Amino acid sequence: MLNNLRILSRTPSVIKHHQLATFAAGCFWSAQLHFQCVTGVISTQVGFINGRTHEPTFEEVCADTTGHALAVQITFDYTAVSYEDLLEYFWAIQSSYEGLDDMDLGSPHRSGIYFHSDAQHATAVASKSKQEALLARDIWTEIAPAGVFYPADDYHQRYLEKGGHCVHDDKHPCSGSL
């Protein structure tokens, strides 16, 4: 026990500045690729959130039998990038997929913001209201507490970087396509 305390006391203080953000933005491969380019994002992983079953598979989620959303979970340094900034990036990604059939409400590819704190909840609601005012229409993006996040298999992690493709055929976002 004492050794563990010593190890914890040597943990860099920078970890204290890390938070989670979880977004569903259609194709989780594309969302991951976009978010990993943001300065201040420490890591990203794709997976499934807010469904009815435990340990869902990609096939089960895509068959819409589990209620999960395909999502990207982001670890970020809030001293380098704010949650509000990540939301702005989320809306930019969303607008590039507007009108696609796979964005139907209730589907695994639905649009969602899954908050990890009361502060994130308030920021997400305000951000959505701002976007609706800018667009002069309602936005079909759910805002809900982040439930259990199940990481997808390794095959799906950084899939587009490994040569995979997505129906959105994104240019690499780190080159400034957004």
Mark whether 27 is an active-site residue.
Answer: yes
Could you give the CA distance from residue 50 to residue 153 in angstroms, rounded to a whole number? 17
Q: Where are any strands of DSSP class E within the chain? A: 18-25, 41-49, 69-77, 111-115, 141-145, 149-151
What is the CA 26 to chain-centroid distance, rounded?
10
Sign of torsion over alpha carbons 14, 20, 25, 29 = positive
Helix (H, G, I), strand (E, B) or coil at 115: strand
List the catalytic residue out of 27, 62, 166, 174.
27
Active site residues: 27
